[in-house]
């Protein structure tokens, strides 16, 4: 299974290439039971620990409260990887989480899909065949659940129609509600406007899970969104794959393209781009960059069109930097003679990038393969040059579905492992069966930003203060959701917000020399 897309916790850190040296493993932990278990999403929590979400087929080992078949599994860890608590969610069907985010009340929001009509799940819409598992049970609904800080279920919502509906990405929005993105094959109940086959699906919920609006994007083929982010202008950016060339889709190159869609704050289509070549491409992660553009990653099998530098004609990781209007600024193929696939990308404060994914090549860009497929982490410069790379795993297969920057200038990577050797220890399964694999990488040396470095704001969420890094003179305003200015000043590297009530605010920073204006949604907890 795949992971996918971040607003509420962005712990911005500063790190860069150090003579091409990849960071070492600080610690690694396997979590799971005797069945197959996969971690899909990770976020660092306010106390420096971590929350991880995914799915589990186990009912033993680290897992309690398993319902049946496949459950959503959520785990809270300390900063050193010790288990604080774990929770199973679902019913007698198949229940999977692809994304978890931290909310302004220190709780969590998760999104994925469910085929259950019992247990924790209510309001399921239809009957069909669940994707990816081959289990003939019920049709999938997009399932969204709000959890407390201790993991208790506060509310849940089944979203969809009579056919397959899947949530891949979720985040709390600047108005305190939630946005969910994924794909749908339905055209009834919660879904309207389907173009045929699967469509991109964007859903806006209230803070209590009420459906406020929904939008479908696509053509008569299969169009599936895997990643979404609310942008600085209040709109949304979605990325995934398509094989349509009609409806909302123009500029298709071949069988499957990367498809990116930019919307307004109310879900109206502003622009769309098809990216790729005559073979196949797909995007699994997209993020807005500090220069106002976008960075996306996924995979490609093409050697033409927008794609250059493919190593094998098989699967390379594909990283594409876009302008704010979707123009390609640069693209990079990463890989070797076998298969590579990337699942997540993050920007560092100095505008470099880190990518997590999978590699089973013994040559090309990857080095140090441990056997079969490894988790592969790579760092790219702001221009797309490979800075360093790292293979992690054992003699079986490992996949790195998500990566996040950590407050100690390191990285946290989650995914799955079928090994119990090499870099991996403590696997619970046999045959082999996959465990969640959580890997903490060491810090990477801090660097002082240059005068023309992008403006950085961290941490987010914040409690007592918001730190600002800007290599020039600047002014700032802190505004609430009513548009009222609560704070204003200039050249403050630490803005005191201890007197503000918990909620979502907009921080606007104007850099005087470059005449750059940056807006950030800040969550106060």
341 and 431 belong to one structural domain: yes
| Number of Cβ within a 10 Å radius of residue 128 | 16
Split at pLDDT 50, 70, 90, the class of 7 is very low
Q: Which two tokens stand for residue 87?
A: 């929770």
Q: Are 258 and 298 in contact (CB under 8 A)?
A: yes
Q: Are 400 and 422 in contact (CB under 8 A)?
A: no
Mean pLDDT of 389-400: 96
CATH number at residue 503: 2.60.40
Q: Do residues 17 and 387 make contact, with C-beta atoms less than 8 angstroms apart? A: yes
Q: 129 falls in which pLDDT band (50, 70, 90)?
A: very low
Three-class secondary structure assignment of 11-46: CCCCCCCCCCCCCCEEEEEEECCCCCEEEEEEEECC
What is the token pair recorded at 212? 């406020």
Same domain, 334 and 386: yes
Q: What's the pLDDT at 134? A: 39
Q: What is the pLDDT of residues 200-214, one digit of tens each?
A: 999 999 999 999 999
Which residues in 50-188 belong to E strands, given as ranges? 50-56, 71-77, 83-89, 95-102, 108-114, 141-147, 153-159, 165-172, 178-184
Same domain, 415 and 506: no
Say whether both 436 and 301 belong to one domain. yes
Q: Are residues 481 and 426 in the same domain?
A: no
Sequence length of the chain is 525
Indicate whether 451 pLDDT > 50. Answer: no
**Same structural domain, 483 and 430:** no
Domain of 410, in residue numbers: 1-22+289-444
Residues 317 and 377 in one domain: yes
Residue among 333, 343, 286 at smallest CA distance from 306: 333
With a CB cutoff of 8 Å and minimum separation 6, the contacts of 155 are 145, 146, 208, 209
Is the separation of the CB atoms in 524 and 503 below 8 Å?
yes
pLDDT tens digits, residue range 73-124? Answer: 999 999 999 999 999 999 999 999 999 999 988 899 999 999 999 999 999 9
Of 219, 111, 197, which Cα lies nearest the Cα of 158?
Answer: 111
Q: Is residue 317 in some structural domain?
A: yes
Measuring CA to CA, which residue among 319, 287, 3 is closest to residue 167?
3
Structure tokens at 136: 């003939």
The count of structural domains within the chain is 2
Average predicted confidence (pLDDT) for the chain: 89
Confidence of residue 16 (pLDDT cuts 50, 70, 90): very low
Question: Where does residue 368 fall: left (phi above 0), alpha (psi -120 to 50 degrees), or beta otherwise?
Answer: left
pLDDT of residue 11: 28
Q: Is residue 481 part of a domain?
A: yes
Question: Is the pLDDT confidence value at 132 over 60?
Answer: no
The verdict on residue 1 lying in a domain is yes
What's the confidence (pLDDT) of residue 466?
Answer: 86
Residues 385 and 470 in one domain: no
Confidence of residue 127 (pLDDT cuts 50, 70, 90): low
Residue 408 pLDDT > 60, yes or no?
Answer: yes
Looking at the domain assignment, is residue 204 inside a domain? no
User: Under 8 Å CB-to-CB from 482, ≥6 apart: which residues?
Assistant: none
The predicted-structure confidence for 155-174, as pLDDT tens digits, reads as follows 999 999 999 999 999 999 98
Look at residue 150 and tell me if it is in a domain: no
Q: How confident is the model at residue 454 (pLDDT cuts 50, 70, 90)?
A: low
Q: Quick one: pLDDT at residue 505?
A: 86
pTM: 0.84
Judgement on whether residues 370 and 481 belong to the same structural domain of the protein? no
- On whether residue 128 sits in a domain, the answer given is no
Do 389 and 424 belong to one domain? yes
Residues 352 and 382 sit within 8 Å (Cβ to Cβ): yes
Q: How confident is the model at residue 514 (pLDDT cuts 50, 70, 90)?
A: low
Contact 50, 18 (CB under 8 A): no
Q: Does the pLDDT value for residue 523 go beyond 80? A: no
Model confidence over 213-270: pLDDT tens digits? 999 999 999 999 999 999 989 999 999 999 999 999 999 998 999 999 999 999 999 9
Tell me, yes or no, whether 437 and 469 share the same domain. Answer: no
Which is nearest to 269 in space by CA: 277, 278, 260, 256? 260
Q: Which of 392, 307, 403 is closest to 353 using CA atoms?
A: 403
Asked if pLDDT for residue 428 goes beyond 70, the answer is yes
Nearest to 355 by CA among 309, 396, 387: 387
Q: Does 414 share its domain with 500?
A: no
* Confidence band for 452, pLDDT divided at 50, 70 and 90: very low
> 155 lies in a domain?
no
Task: Give the model's confidence band at 423: pLDDT under 50 very low, under 70 low, under 90 confident, else very high.
Answer: very high
pLDDT class of 151 with cuts at 50, 70, 90: very high
Rounded to whole angstroms, the Cα distance separating 497 from 503 reads: 11
Q: 299-325 pLDDT, tens per residue?
A: 999 999 999 999 987 899 999 999 999
Hunting for tokens 């964007």 — which residue is that? 202
């Amino acid at each position: 299974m795949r992971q996918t897309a971040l607003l509420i916790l962005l712990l911005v850190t500063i790190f860069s290439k150090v003579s091409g040296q990849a960071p070492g493993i600080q610690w690694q932990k396997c979590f799971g039971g005797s069945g197959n278990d996969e971690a899909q999403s990770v976020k660092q929590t306010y106390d420096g620990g971590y929350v991880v979400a995914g799915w589990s087929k186990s009912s033993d080992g680290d897992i309690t409260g398993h319902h049946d078949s496949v459950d959503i599994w959520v785990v809270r860890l300390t900063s050193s990887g010790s288990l604080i608590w774990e929770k199973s969610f679902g019913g007698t069907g198949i229940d999977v989480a692809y994304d978890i985010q931290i909310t302004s009340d220190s709780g969590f929001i998760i999104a994925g899909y469910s085929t259950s009509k019992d247990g924790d799940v209510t309001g399921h819409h239809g009957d069909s065949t669940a994707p990816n598992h081959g289990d003939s049970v019920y049709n999938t609904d997009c399932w969204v659940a709000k959890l407390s800080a201790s993991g208790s279920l506060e509310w849940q919502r089944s979203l969809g129609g009579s056919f397959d509906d899947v949530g891949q990405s979720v985040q709390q929005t600047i108005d305190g509600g939630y946005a969910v993105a994924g794909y749908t094959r339905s055209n009834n109940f919660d879904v309207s406007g389907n173009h045929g086959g699967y469509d991109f699906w964007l859903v806006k919920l209230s803070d209590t899970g009420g459906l406020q609006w929904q939008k479908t994007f696509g053509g008569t083929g299969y169009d599936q969104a895997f990643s979404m982010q609310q942008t600085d202008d209040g709109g949304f950016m979605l990325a995934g794959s398509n094989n349509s060339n009609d409806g909302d889709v123009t500029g298709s190159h071949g069988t499957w393209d990367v498809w990116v869609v930019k919307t307004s704050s109310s879900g109206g289509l502003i622009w769309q781009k098809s990216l790729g070549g005559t073979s196949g491409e797909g995007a699994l992660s997209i993020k807005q960059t500090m220069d106002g553009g976008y960075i996306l990653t996924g995979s490609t099998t093409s050697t033409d069109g927008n794609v250059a530098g493919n190593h094998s004609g098989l699967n390379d990781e594909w990283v594409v930097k876009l302008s704010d209007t979707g123009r390609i600024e640069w693209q990079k193929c990463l890989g070797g003679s076998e298969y590579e696939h990337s699942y997540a990308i993050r920007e560092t404060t100095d505008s470099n990038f880190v990518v997590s994914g999978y590699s089973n090549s013994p040559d090309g860009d990857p080095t140090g393969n441990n056997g079969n497929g490894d988790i592969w982490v790579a760092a790219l410069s702001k221009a797309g040059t490979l800075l360093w790379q790292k293979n992690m795993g054992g003699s079986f297969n490992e996949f790195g579905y998500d990566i996040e920057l950590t407050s100690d200038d390191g990285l946290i990577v989650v995914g799955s492992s079928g090994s119990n050797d090499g870099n991996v220890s403590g696997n619970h399964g046999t045959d082999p069966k996959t465990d969640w694999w959580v890997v903490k990488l060491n810090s990477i040396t801090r660097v002082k930003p240059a005068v023309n470095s992008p403006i950085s704001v961290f941490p987010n969420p914040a409690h007592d203060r918001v730190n600002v890094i800007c290599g020039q003179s600047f002014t700032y305003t802190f505004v609430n959701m009513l548009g009222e200015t609560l704070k204003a000043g200039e050249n403050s590297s630490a803005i005191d917000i201890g007197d503000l009530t918990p909620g979502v605010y907009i921080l606007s920073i104007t850099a005087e020399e470059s005449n750059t204006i940056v807006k950030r949604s800040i969550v106060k907890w």
